[in-house]
Amino acid sequence: MCRIFTDLDNTVIFSHKYDIGSKVLTELLNGKEQSYMPENGYRQLQNLPRDMVIPVTSRTKAQYNRVQLYQDKSCTHYSLIDNGAILLVNGAEDIKWTKETEKWLKKDIDSMILLTRRYKDSADLLMQDGFTIRVKGNISTVTKISEAAEKENLMVFESAGKTYICPRQLTKGNAIKRFKKKHQVQKCICAGDSIIDISMIRECDRAYFPTEIKGYIPDMVKNRVSLTDKFKIAETIFSKEIFNEI
């Protein structure tokens, strides 16, 4: 079976702030409508095997659990959250996977813990699910913390206007690589919208990204990438015809 590894936010689901045309509600936050999926993509997703589509997201467990991709409100069979640090199977954490992640990234996690202690009085540093730090503070403080993190060889990235720090090896590409080995995946496609999604391309046979990301895609993998309108990605990757391309 071919697998579809896809980012969520701004790839297949979109904030209520976007005008995406005909849409289906996929997330509530404190009782308010938060995100939607384009209707065509949503309808096509319902017809695919539940274990074919694997979200690969930077969302934490709590953030991911708000998202409902299916009409019956159930979850995907597999989900890679926290950039792949945690694997959910039918919504339950695969503890063996998590412990392997902790062992693999122990040195970086220790560095992150020390970083939160060092700057606890000057900024709001929240360790999320044990693998990512969300940083809140004034610009100069966030810059200072980001520079300190990079000196520890940690990765700093922006998502939805917020700053995050995580182990440099905790990439979506490495998550897919681990999953492929564990489940003997032979063929797969991926989809994303941002720089932190690009690492997925190396692990997949075909990739789908919005036109806006074109300048960030390395030359060595450009031949695997199809560029399209960002609001059409869900419709494209959840179409059964897509597998004729790989």
* Domain count within the chain: 2
The CA distance from 203 to 187, in Å, is: 10
Position 245 scores a pLDDT of 63
Does residue 166 sit in helix, strand or coil? Answer: strand
Task: Confirm if 76 and 90 have CB atoms less than 8 A apart.
Answer: no
Residue 246's pLDDT is what? 64
79 within 8 A of 92, measured Cβ to Cβ: no
Q: Decide which of 167, 197, 216 is a domain's last residue.
A: 167
179 & 89 share domain: yes
Q: How far is the CA of 71 from the CAs of 32, 44, 45, 92, 233, in angstroms?
A: 19, 12, 10, 20, 20
- The domain spanning residue 116 has which CATH number? 3.90.1070.10
For 159: left if phi > 0, alpha if psi spans -120 to 50, otherwise beta; the answer is beta
CATH at 15: 3.40.50.1000
Domain boundary among 167, 185, 210: 167
Splitting the chain (246 residues) into consecutive groups of 10 residues, what average pLDDT does each group show? 94 95 95 96 95 96 95 92 97 97 97 96 94 94 96 89 93 98 95 96 97 95 96 94 70
89 and 114 belong to one structural domain: no
Last residue of a domain, one of 142, 167, 192: 167
27 shares its domain with 97: yes
What integer pLDDT is reported at residue 240 of this predicted model? 77
Do 182 and 157 fall within a single domain?
no
Tell me, yes or no, whether 83 and 176 share the same domain: yes
Please give the helix or strand (H or E) that residue 57 lies within, else none: none
Same domain, 120 and 58: no
Same domain for 115 and 47? no
Task: Based on the fold, state whether residues 7 and 92 are members of the same structural domain.
Answer: yes
| Same domain as 161, residue 181 | no
Give residue 198's pLDDT: 96
Query: Which pTM does this prediction carry?
Result: 0.94
- Domain with 163 in it: 106-167
Phi, psi dihedral angles at 27 (to 5 degrees): -155, 135
Nearest residue to 204 via CA among 181, 179, 176 = 176
- Give the residue from 195, 199, 170, 162 showing the smallest Cα distance to 112: 170
**Domain co-membership, 90 together with 188:** yes
